[in-house]
């Protein structure tokens, strides 16, 4: 049984599939339409968010509550981090409170690994700098699997700020392990040459700077936010939408079955036009959020759940 969830890189197909199967079973409970087992009864989960979050934080809290566990929540602002306490010291102190797991988001690439090497409790990565966001990768896979009944052979484009995106990295690892083909699309500033080396090593990954040329061949188009907080090229270029935005006109060139995804928060009118984001036929953006709760239930249960799965 895996205790920590630090990254999707290196997780094999069987493990990813078992997490997705477990999460799929939790979708009704995630929506409040079915009872979940009380498999976290008596468990304390620290939610440590040193970077801003809406969906990830609330869905980890919702997942903990749905399974009968309790959350202790801490953010950078309002904690002793603002008095200069280090990231590791904070985590060691939270561990000493006796928590069973800590969910951690920080701007430090490798931050969750650092904690996992030093604390007693289970560590779940909720986004570490530019590196990985494993539960986001899982919820993206669950959304694609639900839409197409499979992941293998599905053609996915990931569009935008690839260089700074932990969402893209987790999606690339999980989707390719499950057999999807992934096209990385973005301007050269946000999709640097180092990604060409990744693509050269992996026959399911390719890169292009020309979004328009690939639209008609896609099953999934996953749009990313430009990560201004990670100094993404100094800002959003004035012509970003013109070349890389999923505009109304571009959406018309997608196949009818192609779904639109975005991890949120969406910059409406920059990476996605309003009517595309709100198109109930194509847009999976809110479905992804629901899947986030189910996936986090699966991850927490696997990590610290009671094996007797009390009801
Ligand atoms: C993402 C993140 O924080 O990495 N958001 C999320 O967790 N849903 C993506 C982003 O902030 O752009």
105-153 pLDDT per residue, tens: 999 999 999 999 999 999 999 999 999 999 999 999 999 999 999 999 9
pLDDT, one tens digit per residue, over 209-252 is: 999 999 999 999 999 998 888 865 567 888 999 999 999 999 99
Asked whether residue 235 falls in the same domain as residue 186, the answer is yes
Ligand 1 contact, 228 CB (< 6 A): no
Global pTM reads: 0.96
Based on the domain organization, do 123 and 163 belong to the same domain? no
> Could you give the CA distance from residue 88 to residue 80 in angstroms, rounded to a whole number?
12
Contact indicator for 121, 99 with CB cutoff of 8 Å: yes
Number of domains in the chain: 2
Q: How far apart are CA 92 and CA 284, in angstroms?
A: 38
Residue 1 counted as domain residue? no
Whichever domain contains 277, its CATH number is 3.40.50.1370
193 and 275 in a common domain? yes
Domain membership of residue 209 (yes or no) is yes
Closest ligand 1 atom, residue 51 Cα: 3
Q: Is 233 inside a domain boundary? A: yes
Whether residue 3 lies inside any domain: the answer is: no
Instruction: Please state, in angstroms and rounded to a whole number, the distance separating the CA atoms of residues 157 and 161.
Output: 12
Q: Are residues 29 and 63 in the same domain?
A: yes
**pLDDT of 1 over the 60 cut:** no
| Assigned domain for 169 exists | yes
Shared domain check, 138 and 276: yes
Same domain, 138 and 281: yes
* 150 and 114 in a common domain: no
CA 222 / ligand 1 centre spacing (Å): 13
Domain that residue 180 falls in: 134-285
**Test site for ligand 1: of 47, 51, 56, most ligand atoms within 8 A of the Cβ:** 56
Q: Tell me how far apart the alpha carbons of residues 201 and 279 are, in angstroms, rounded to a whole number.
A: 36
- The answer to whether position 310 is within a domain reads no
CB of 174 shorter than 6 A to ligand 1: no
Q: How far, in Å, CA of 287 to CA of 258, rounded? A: 15
Does the beta carbon of 69 sit less than 6 angstroms from any atom of ligand 1? no
**289 in ligand 1 pocket by Cβ < 6 Å?**
no
């Amino acid at each position: 049984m895996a205790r920590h969830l630090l990254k999707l890189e290196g997780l094999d197909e069987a493990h990813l599939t078992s997490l997705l199967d477990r999460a799929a079973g939790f979708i009704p409970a995630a929506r409040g339409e079915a009872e979940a087992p009380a498999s976290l009864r008596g468990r304390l989960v620290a939610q440590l968010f040193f970077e801003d979050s809406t969906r990830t934080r609330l869905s980890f809290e919702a997942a903990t509550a749905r399974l009968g566990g309790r959350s202790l929540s801490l953010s950078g602002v309002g904690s002793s981090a603002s008095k200069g306490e280090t990231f590791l010291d904070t985590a060691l102190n939270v561990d000493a409170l006796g928590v069973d797991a800590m969910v951690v988001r920080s701007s430090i690439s490798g931050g969750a690994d650092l904690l996992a090497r030093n604390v007693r409790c289970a560590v779940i990565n909720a986004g570490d700098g530019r590196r990985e966001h494993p539960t986001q990768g899982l919820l993206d896979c669950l959304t694609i699997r639900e839409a197409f009944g499979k992941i293998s052979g599905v053609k996915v484009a990931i569009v935008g700020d690839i260089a700074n995106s932990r969402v893209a990295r987790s999606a690339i690892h999980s989707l390719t392990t499950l057999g999807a083909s992934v096209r990385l699309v973005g301007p050269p500033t946000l999709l640097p040459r180092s990604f060409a080396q990744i693509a050269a090593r992996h026959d399911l990954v390719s890169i292009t700077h020309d979004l328009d040329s690939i639209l008609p061949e896609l099953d999934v188009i996953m749009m990313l936010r430009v990560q201004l907080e990670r100094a993404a090229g100094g800002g959003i270029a004035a012509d970003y939408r013109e070349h890389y935005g999923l505009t109304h006109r571009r959406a018309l060139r997608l196949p009818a079955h192609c779904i639109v995804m975005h991890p949120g928060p969406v910059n409406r009118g920059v990476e996605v036009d309003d009517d595309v984001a709100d198109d109930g036929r194509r847009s999976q953006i809110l479905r992804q959020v629901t899947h986030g709760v189910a996936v986090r239930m699966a991850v927490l249960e696997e990590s610290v759940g009671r094996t007797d799965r009390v009801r």
